[in-house]
Structures are given as C-alpha cells and as structure tokens.
Amino acid sequence: MGINNKQNETVFQNAIQVWWKSKNVNASGIGKSQGGSRDQNLRGDTMDGFRDTIIDHLIAEGVNKEDIFFGKQFSNIASNLPSYFRASKNWDVIICKNSHFKRLKNADLDLPVLIAAIEFKSQNESIGNNQNNRIEESIGNAHDFWASYENKNFIHLTPRPWLGYLFVGRYAEGDENKGVEVNQPHIPPDPIFLGRIQDVHKSTVKFIGPSYTERYRIFLERMIAKKLYDGACFLVTHEDIAQSVPNYRVLFPELSGENFLDGLRRHIRAYYFD
C-alpha cells in the first residue's frame, strides 16, 4: 500500500470544512486557534461533519433514521454499547435495529440487532503527537468490542457487526516523506519498521523508520488484516489546502473516504434489510 497524493476525492469536503471551522480557522485558512488542541478536540462539533456525511449516506441507502445513534455518553439516547472489560463504550455512530429502549415501549419488536459501530479520531497538531497512545487506545477499543461480541453482549452473533475507524489529522504536504527516529537498543524491530541505521553506540541503536503517516498505514492495515476493524479511513489536511477543493488528501487509496463508505454500504445492503 503505497503513498498516493493524486486521489482527489471530495466525499468528505463539507466534513473537513466543519473540522476547520470548529478549530477557529479564519476565512483565509491561515488563522490560529484560540484554545489548546485538546480543548478543541473535546468540542462536540469537531467531527460532526463526518457524522452528518455518514448519516446522509446511510439514509440514502434506506436505513431508518431512528436506527442511527450518535448521542454522547450521558445524553438521553447515548450511542453506548456494552463492553467486556468495562461497563460500556460510547461510539461516535452506531446503527442498531430494535434498540432496547424501543422494545420497552413495544414488546412486539424483535431483539436488538447491532449492525455497525464507528469510531472517530482527530489530531489537530502534528499527527505524530501522542501517536502511540492513540493507537493503543484504538487497539484496546477494538479488542474490547470483539470480546463483548464473543460474550454475546450484543445478543446476536450473526450478523457480525461492522466496525469502522475514521481518522483525520493536520499534516503538511511532504511530511509523509519524513522518517522518524527510533531508538531500539535491545531487540531488533519488526522489519516493516526498520529504516536506515542512523547511529550505533555501545548502548544504543538509533535508526530512521517510517514516517508518522506510514505508521498509521501499518497500524490500520494490520488491524483490518486481524479483523479488528472492518473498514478504515485515513485523511490528512492542512491550512494550505483548507480552502481548496479537495480540502484534504488521501495518501493511501485503500484508506480513502470513498472506500470506507463503500464498505459500510455493502454491509448495510447485506444485513440491515433482513
């Protein structure tokens, strides 16, 4: 899966506009945010454009709007699902038929059927910041999800729900070609992370490994191969292109927005209408 900067899709054009607006970027696209990136990423509207685009596509496929949930942890109809290693997890978007709260009012409904769940991740500063922590969190969420599924916490084992991961981060063009220094003094690294040797001393071995975007590619590619995620989307944007069309770049075609939505649509067509 190589880097490809030429894929000019626009399916998430409006979503990226909302993303930038939520970070207080001025009309020229070069404005500075007025708060810390953590405060911005905790705002409810940061990823609302992605949520709305996905919901529009789901409704266009025939999904009942009442089966789509995106409420926050403590909202009246939160998009919470039972977990295995914890009580629950709030997902950014879920599609669930015959939700339990509906069955409390209508006992004739069939048992709940979880169709899909989607996790959003956003990085306003360099996507290398806290990358390991973000990856660890996403791995943990996926393992917890499937442990809950295997424990029959979602009631049904079939259809197997579709789990998606969507990432958008601030990244300047050309940064994807910058390798990252790694210190590996004890055991040789997985060959996929081994770049060129930079320095060798008696107590350390430093080398230049893949860029931060390549690290995300490896992470997502392996998560899909392990069936921890069924679909993944990786998009990058920057002030330099915030007012352009497209206003984001797809570095890896297999992780494009169009491929992500296509995978979700295929699952919906196969299992939602049973």
Longest dimension (CA), the chain: 72
What does the pLDDT look like over 24-51, one tens digit per residue?
643 344 444 444 443 444 445 789 999 9
How many whole angstroms separate alpha carbon 168 and alpha carbon 122? 5
Identify the segments of the chain with pLDDT beneath 70.
1-7, 24-44, 195-205
The answer to whether residues 198 and 177 touch, using CB atoms and an 8 Å cutoff, is: no
pLDDT of residue 173: 92
pLDDT of residue 186: 82
pLDDT of residue 30: 42
What does the pLDDT look like over 69-117, one tens digit per residue?
998 888 888 999 999 999 999 999 999 999 988 888 888 889 999 999 9
pLDDT of residue 199: 55
Peptide bond before residue 246 is cis, with ω within 30 degrees of 0 = yes
How many whole angstroms separate alpha carbon 63 and alpha carbon 208? 47
pLDDT of residue 89: 97
